Amino acid sequence: MGNENIVLLSSREIDKMRQAGKLAAQLLDHLGKMVKPGVSTYEINQEAERWTKEKGAISAPLGYGNPPFPASICTSINEVICHGIPSKNQILKDGDIINIDVTPIVDGYHGDTSKTFFVGNPSPKTKKLVEVTEECLYRGINAVKPNGRIGDIGAAIQEYAESCGFSVVRNFVGHGIGRVFHTAPQVPHYGKKGTGKKIRPGMVFTIEPMINEGTWEADILDDNWTAVTKDRKLSAQFEHTIAVTKEGVEILTVDK
């Protein structure tokens, strides 16, 4: 996740992150309209790449990491926690859930956001998981205060998720972001209030809780990317990129 030197962004850089965040939010909204039974994740990926290029931006996931990620977005269906790879063979079915994770690069800066969408009509149990996960994201964001601690975020998320009978993924965390896709600090979605690095104005990072129906444990598939729940029960995720300000917190991945 990069070294532990946390870079504080200037107001000019945060403005750049706002632009990247706005484009990310628009892209996610655009792709969300495609989510319906019978659509392949490959089609959603191709549209993401076309749209991103049309706007003069670059898809950060494409070619990222080792092995290089082979697509422009992550599409994580049902038991897939994160890093699902779009495929022509993966056709959305009624009752599925899909997390779409996008990260366009605009003028050198990364906008990173994701959302879990319903395909057709979800079961009540599925609906509850997704609603709790979205609430976890906002509880995490609301826990961000200047001079607070990174652990405050995870504590707020874990407390709520577990009180609703769900579990919090430990293997993947939020992260610092700016010109670099993944950097310090790491932002766990579980933990103890009052622990971890101090939160300071100028910090920009993602909060992206992954909440599971059953166990929090994960398996990585043979493609070395796709993470699935160990018990193959459902997982949901929501993500925003946020900036810490003197007043509190600003969500950057919004269309405004």
Annotated binding-site residues for substrate read 83, 182
Give the span between the Cα atoms of 167 and 132, in whole angstroms. 11
Give the span between the Cα atoms of 143 and 159, in whole angstroms. 12
**CB of 97 closer than 8 Å to CB of 229:** no
Q: Parallel, antiparallel, or unpaired for β 218-220 and 227-229?
A: antiparallel
Residue with tokens 């993401």: 48
Give the span between the Cα atoms of 180 and 60, in whole angstroms. 10
Binding site as annotated, residues: 83, 101, 112, 175, 182, 208, 239
Cα angle vertex 250, ends 206, 243, to 5°?
A: 45
Binding site as annotated, residues for a divalent metal cation: 101, 112, 175, 208, 239
Q: Of the candidates 212, 111, 119, which has an alpha carbon nearest to the alpha carbon of residue 157?
A: 212
